[in-house]
């Protein structure tokens, strides 16, 4: 045996370790980006009452913040396929993070309300680019895909859990807007990490560094126009998009308005902001701990189980006049809702072709995020006319509709021309 032949196993072993290390670093980087997204979404709920008082506005006007964020998210999701084709994964992630830095910097001095609305627009734009790129990247993995999706989205839940703990503290301070200075710092750190780790590289290059060879479907030979046409022709994508719209809308509505509901209808005080943390903490726990349940029952069937139990718990929030019971019920609803979005993305990877995955995830997430504006905005309109008590029947009806659309999503892949 020659010296070259004897050194080959050691070289292969070193390469495997390097690939494993690259995979871990890239995954942790995406987890931090999703933590920031959750931080952004979890911030608003505890600050809504103080924003209304500071700007002297009602339910309807303050709901424009959700609409602005949604418009930004839709724009980000819409240009994502083009960005992925022209710029690639690494550059797109950094651009998205820079938009978030800009957003929080705008919000930090508590500017006039129209400028605050603009800040929410940039926050949604930046989050959309990172969300769709991150989901598409993890969805393209050939190993441990579902587990990593669950962990990735649990970090979103962790960010949404921590943010209300911080923003609730700031909400009782004279300068509540200083919360956004903290947000700006986290966003800057996120940008730096994305630059250092991904170095502007394309997804296929980064996957190769992890030891996953590119296939023809991942080669990028398809034009953005052909991708758009193919996506629009698949019914499953539209069913999943509407499910995502209602799911994300319900999640953001509960996280955003439950504080106002508890204060108004249950006689709570400013500490009610911690209920938002309980909800998003439940989302995190559900995404981490229910993975084995998802696999045991089946990911398609288990969504029905989680939905029916969540509806029952939501009815107790509606009819049981107890702050403690309502807080606990909302937390458990978070546990049950938590796994649904990772399951949705994982299911999409099974029933859609690989060459459409990133674009489809962008479309599903973009349409889904429109629910994060539509439902909270509708809640604000209904609250202006009927009071915040209208929150509960709206949420229950949306959960029931969500179940109906999930029933239309096929269990297995169908032929796609």
Residue 104 or 69, more confident: 104
The reported pLDDT for the residue numbered 31 is: 94
Q: Tell me: the pLDDT tens digits for 90-117?
A: 999 999 999 999 999 999 999 999 999 9
Residue 199 pLDDT > 50: yes
Residue 207 or 304, more confident: 304
Q: Tell me: the pLDDT tens digits for 346-363?
A: 888 788 877 777 678 777
Are the CB atoms for 123 and 100 separated by under 8 Å? yes
Radius of gyration, CA atoms only, the chain: 21
Residue 296 or 118, more confident: 118
The reported pLDDT for the residue numbered 5 is: 44
Residue 404 pLDDT > 70: yes
Mean pLDDT, rounded, of the chain: 84
Note the helical H segments in 79-200: 80-86, 89-107, 113-139, 145-171, 179-198
Q: Tell me: the pLDDT tens digits for 371-399?
A: 777 788 888 888 888 888 899 999 999 99
Residue 413 pLDDT > 80: no
Are the CB atoms for 71 and 124 separated by under 8 Å? yes
**Could you write out the DSSP letters of every residue in 225-289?**
HHHHHHHHT-HHHHHHHHHHHHHHHHHHHHHHHHHHHHHHHS---GGGHHHHHHHHHHHHHHHHH
Q: What average pLDDT score do residues 49-65 get?
A: 88
CA distance 200 to 86: 12
Q: Quick one: pLDDT band at residue 416, thresholds 50, 70, 90?
A: very low
Tokens of 372: 């994060």
DSSP state of 358: H
Residue 12 pLDDT > 70: no
Q: Quick one: pLDDT band at residue 213, thresholds 50, 70, 90?
A: low
The reported pLDDT for the residue numbered 188 is: 96
CA distance 254 to 261: 10
CA distance 150 to 161: 16
Window from 99-103, 175-179, 230-234, 246-250 with minimum mean pLDDT: 230-234
Percent of the chain whose pLDDT exceeds 90: 32
Residues in contact with 156: Cβ distance below 8 Å, sequence separation at least 6, in sequence order: 34, 35, 37, 38, 41, 283
Residue 413 or 267, more confident: 267
Task: Report residue 108: phi and psi, to 5°.
Answer: -60, -40
Q: What average pLDDT score do residues 272-285 get?
A: 85
Q: Collapsing DSSP states into helix, strand and coil, what is residue 206?
A: helix
Q: Tell me: the pLDDT tens digits for 136-183?
A: 788 777 777 778 887 888 898 889 889 888 888 888 888 898 999 999
CA distance 341 to 339: 6
Distance of CA 261 to the CA centre of its chain: 23
Domain ranges of the chain: 19-208+220-408
> Taking Cα atoms as reference points, which of 216, 150, 224, 211 lies closest to residue 353?
216
Tokens of 339: 């796994």
The reported pLDDT for the residue numbered 15 is: 54
Q: Tell me: the pLDDT tens digits for 125-134?
A: 998 889 888 8
Which DSSP helix (H) or strand (E) runs through 22? helix 3-55
Q: What average pLDDT score do residues 259-287 get?
A: 85
Sign of dihedral through CA atoms 303, 305, 306, 310?
positive
The reported pLDDT for the residue numbered 223 is: 54
Distance of CA 359 to the CA centre of its chain: 16
Residue 415 pLDDT > 70: no
pTM score, two decimals?
Answer: 0.76
Q: Quick one: pLDDT band at residue 7, thresholds 50, 70, 90?
A: very low
> Taking Cα atoms as reference points, which of 137, 240, 247 lies closest to residue 198?
137
The reported pLDDT for the residue numbered 62 is: 87
Residue 298 pLDDT > 60: yes
CA distance 239 to 205: 32
Q: What is the CATH number of domain 19-208+220-408?
A: 1.20.1250.20
The reported pLDDT for the residue numbered 214 is: 54
**Could you write out the DSSP letters of every residue in 290-339?**
SHHHHHHH-HHHHHHHHHHHHHHHHHHHHH---HHHHHHHHHHHHHHHTT
The reported pLDDT for the residue numbered 414 is: 54
> Taking Cα atoms as reference points, which of 366, 414, 338, 406 lies closest to residue 135?
366
Residue 271 or 310, more confident: 310
């Amino acid at each position: 045996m020659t010296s070259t032949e004897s050194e080959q196993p050691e070289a292969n072993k070193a390469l495997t370790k390097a690939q494993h290390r690259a995979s871990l670093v890239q995954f942790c980087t995406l987890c931090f980006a999703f933590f920031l997204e959750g931080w952004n979404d979890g911030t608003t709920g505890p600050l809504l009452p103080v924003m209304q008082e500071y700007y002297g506005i009602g339910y309807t006007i303050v709901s424009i913040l959700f609409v602005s964020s949604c418009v930004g998210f839709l724009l980000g999701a819409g240009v994502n396929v083009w960005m992925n084709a022209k710029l690639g994964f690494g550059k797109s992630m950094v651009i998205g993070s820079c938009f978030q830095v800009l957003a929080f910097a705008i919000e930090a001095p508590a500017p006039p309300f129209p400028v605050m609305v603009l800040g929410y627009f940039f926050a949604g734009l930046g989050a959309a680019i990172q969300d769709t790129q991150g989901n598409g990247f993890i969805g393209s993995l050939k190993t441990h895909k579902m587990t990593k999706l669950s962990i990735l989205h649990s970090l979103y839940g962790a960010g949404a859990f921590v943010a209300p703990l911080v923003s609730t503290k700031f909400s009782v301070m004279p300068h509540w807007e200083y919360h956004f200075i903290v947000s700006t710092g986290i966003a800057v750190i996120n940008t730096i990490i994305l630059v250092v780790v991904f170095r502007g590289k394309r997804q296929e290059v980064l996957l190769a560094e992890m030891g996953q060879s590119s296939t023809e479907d991942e080669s990028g030979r398809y034009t953005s126009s052909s991708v758009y046409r193919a996506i629009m022709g698949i019914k499953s994508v539209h069913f999943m998009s509407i499910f995502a719209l209602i799911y994300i809308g319900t999640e953001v509505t509960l996280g955003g308005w439950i504080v106002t509901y508890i204060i108004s209808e249950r006689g709570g005080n400013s500490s009610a902001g911690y209920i938002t943390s309980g909800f998003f903490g439940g989302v995190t726990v559900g995404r981490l701990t229910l993975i084995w349940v998802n696999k045991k029952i089946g990911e398609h069937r288990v969504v029905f189980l989680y939905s029916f139990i969540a509806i029952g718990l939501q009815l107790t929030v509606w009819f049981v006049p107890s702050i403690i019971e309502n807080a606990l019920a909302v937390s458990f609803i978070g546990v049950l809702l938590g796994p649904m979005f990772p399951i949705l993305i994982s299911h999409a990877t099974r029933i859609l072709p690989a060459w459409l995955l990133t674009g489809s995830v962008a479309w599903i997430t973009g349409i889904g995020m429109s629910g994060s504006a539509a439902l909270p905005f509708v809640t604000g309109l209904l609250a202006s006319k009927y009071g915040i008590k209208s929150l509960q029947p709206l949420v229950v009806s949306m959960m029931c509709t969500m179940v109906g659309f999930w029933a239309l999503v096929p269990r297995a892949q169908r032929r796609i021309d």
